[in-house]
A and B are shown apart, each in its own frame.
Chain A
Amino acid sequence: MAAQVIGRRSPQDAAAVAEHQRRAQRRGRIIGIGRHLVLALICFILVAPFYYVVLASLKDSTGIFQYPPKLIPFPPYFGNYERLLTDTAFPRWMLNTLFVATSVTVCKIFLDSMAGYALAKLDITGKRIVFMLLLLLLMVPFGALIIPLWTLVYTLGLLNTYWALILPALANPLGVFLMRQFILGLPRDLENAARLDGVSEFGIYWRIILPLIKPGLVVLAVIIFTDQFMSFVWPLISTSSDDVELVTVGVAALRSHGGVDYGLWSASAVMSMIPIGIVFFVLQRQFLARSLAGALKQ
């Protein structure tokens, strides 16, 4: 457009327009740099605490209390990590957490995709009611269910077992909605054709639907896995011993070990972030899609 305008003006006006363009470009660049600065500052604020904690985990108790503090730990002190891994039950907690998180994720992937498929494509009386129910209780605060849930698990004799950690987690309806959304987007002809060919319903689900919604499955898996890693309230009240406990509960229990041990704490904080950190690094896009999943619900 600017070219058209220039073609109709005199050379002086053309120069003026060019000058305007240059200034606009410079402004644009300044704004761009400004954006980067602000973002960098924000990122620094968000991430600085982590560096501080990693730092503390590599210092021994005298180094932590020092002022002014050393910004680069040299030489690094690994005693805190040693103690974390040998003196506490941290490895067991991590194992438990990985086991529970993986189990729930695997189960939910199938449970939710099947349910999502049913809600999206299959004929069920009362489908609307079921859907409304799921939608309504989607946001139920977990804290409000402590009493009856605990009593239920207690009566079933499942307190302080892996079941107590896995089973209630399977009730969350979020995954169903996600799967339903993905499956709704698939063309109807595909499955109709398969049905005509005589493929069983389960075959359609297994061989056609699942492969097609694989990206959605990955997002769902990421969401569920992360949520399991972060859950605290329920594991806190349903487990009491080291052999079933999760990392979150265990790390909280290290808090007052008869006297504060900042080095141990910091080490435990760092170690507890490692698994998710790795998964995040590898599956970045799917993680960020977790946020987008909410947008999809619109």
Chain B
Amino acid sequence: MSRMRLAAAEHRRLRLRARLRRELIGWAFLGPMFFFFVVFLLIPVLGTGWWSTQFGGLTTGTHYVGLDNFTRLPDVVGATVAVQNTLLFALMSVPLILIGSLLIGLLLARISRGGATYRFLVYFPVLVPPVVAALIWLFLTNVDFGLFNEVLRAFGAEPVTWLGASTALPVLAALDVWRNVGYWAIFFVAAIIGLPEELYQAASLDGAEGFAKLRYITIPLLRRILLFAIVVATIWGLQVFDTALVLTNGGPGTSTTTIVLRVWQYVFGSNNKVGYAAAISLVFLVAILILTVIQLYALRSRRGED
């Protein structure tokens, strides 16, 4: 009898040790990556929160001001403009990107020949670093000899100041569309190809035409993918910086100053705005976290339907 009881205690200890060993191994694998994640991502996120309660310059010293930065933020000249510009930009570019890529995806999915070539060409702009894309567009939008105005002149129209005060932001959005439409197009192609063929055949027999098929079959089936694309494209769109800096440096005036650009200007171009920059960053971060959560929630709840 006692031997069995001893065996039970022994058992527990052995199991504990095995458990510990498994735990250690698990962390040995997860640890390195998680370490970098914590140090270079998690802690900076918390750091932004800390910096938003400070007032001063990056290396010239700061002092604590509580939540003042947030309350005074709307008054700081240039802060609200940056938010407005960024939202406007996303409003212009994201829908165009998604509609364009959906269109391309639909076309590309049904093509019998030459698919690989089209995919290659469509995807090419995606591989260009945003900075280089902006340089290319600087060239294209030149008033006197850029491609756009030369095309206009060939048709007998008046040349346009593409990077003017009211046209710069739409042009920036167009640049973004040009760059990103290929990425999502390929995305949709994969998704559409994965849709069940039978539904379409059944619809054809019932006499359904192209647009009807699109409305009643394709789009509903792609709902989850579309939602994912909308959220992710928006999140990426809101972070626009590289192109705004290189194309117009936030100008003319403040018409293309975006959130991240404004943060950069506050942090490195001024000596007393690091708190405001952090406050903007925090608000920005939270907004995107909310978007992420919405996306996760919405996608999770649909899992039962398929």
Chains A and B touch (C-beta atoms under 8 A apart): yes
What is the distance, in angstroms, from B23's C-beta to the closest C-beta of chain A? 6
Tell whether A251 pairs with B40 under 8 Å between CB atoms, given A122-B29, A262-B139, A295-B190: no
Q: Is chain A's interface secondary structure helix, strand, loop, or mixed overall? A: helix
Contacts of A133 in B (CB 8 A): 37, 42
Contacts of B224 in A (CB 8 A): 298
B162 at the binding interface (Cβ < 8 Å): no
Interface residues on A, range: 35 or more
The reply to whether B267 and A46 form a contact with Cβ atoms under 8 Å apart is no
Contacts of A172 in B (CB 8 A): 41
Closest to A176 in B: B33
Contact mask for chain A residues 143-155; partner B; CB cutoff 8 A; 1 contact, 0 none:
1111111111010
A292 at the binding interface (Cβ < 8 Å): yes
The reply to whether B139 and A149 form a contact with Cβ atoms under 8 Å apart is no
A6 at the binding interface (Cβ < 8 Å): no
B77 at the binding interface (Cβ < 8 Å): no
A192 at the binding interface (Cβ < 8 Å): no
Tell whether A141 pairs with B284 under 8 Å between CB atoms, given A43-B122, A46-B125, A232-B130: yes
CA distance A195 to B32 in the complex (A): 23
Closest to A124 in B: B26
B178 at the binding interface (Cβ < 8 Å): yes
Binds B, one of A8-16, A63-71, A81-89: A63-71
CA distance A208 to B145 in the complex (A): 59
Contacts of B45 in A (CB 8 A): 137, 140, 144-145, 148
Tell whether A171 pairs with B36 under 8 Å between CB atoms, given A43-B121, A141-B260, A248-B129: yes
Contacts of A145 in B (CB 8 A): 41, 44-45, 47-48, 281
CA distance A281 to B117 in the complex (A): 11
Contacts of A298 in B (CB 8 A): 224-225, 228, 299
A280 at the binding interface (Cβ < 8 Å): yes
The reply to whether A46 and B121 form a contact with Cβ atoms under 8 Å apart is yes
Interface residues in B, total, Cβ within 8 A: 102
B216 at the binding interface (Cβ < 8 Å): no
CA distance A137 to B45 in the complex (A): 9
A119 at the binding interface (Cβ < 8 Å): yes
B131 at the binding interface (Cβ < 8 Å): yes
8 Å CB interface, B222-249 against A: 224-225, 228, 232, 235, 238-239, 241-242, 245-246
A-side residues, CB < 8 A to B, are 1, 31-32, 35-36, 38-39, 42-43, 45-50, 52-53, 56, 64-69, 111-112, 114-115, 117-119, 122-125, 127, 130, 133-152, 154, 167-168, 170-173, 176, 201, 205, 226, 229-230, 232-233, 237, 247-249, 251-252, 255, 262, 265-266, 268-269, 272-273, 276-277, 280-281, 284, 287-288, 291-292, 294-295, 297-298
B-side residues, CB < 8 A to A, are 19, 22-23, 25-27, 29-30, 32-34, 36-37, 39-48, 50-51, 58-59, 104, 107-108, 110-112, 114, 116, 118-125, 127-132, 135-140, 144-145, 147, 150, 178, 181-184, 186-187, 190-191, 194, 205, 210, 224-225, 228, 232, 235, 238-239, 241-242, 245-246, 259-260, 263-264, 267-268, 274, 277-278, 281-282, 284-285, 288-289, 291-293, 296, 299
In the A-B complex, the 8 residue pairs with the closest CB atoms: A148-B47, A143-B260, A171-B40, A115-B33, A124-B26, A118-B29, A144-B281, A118-B30
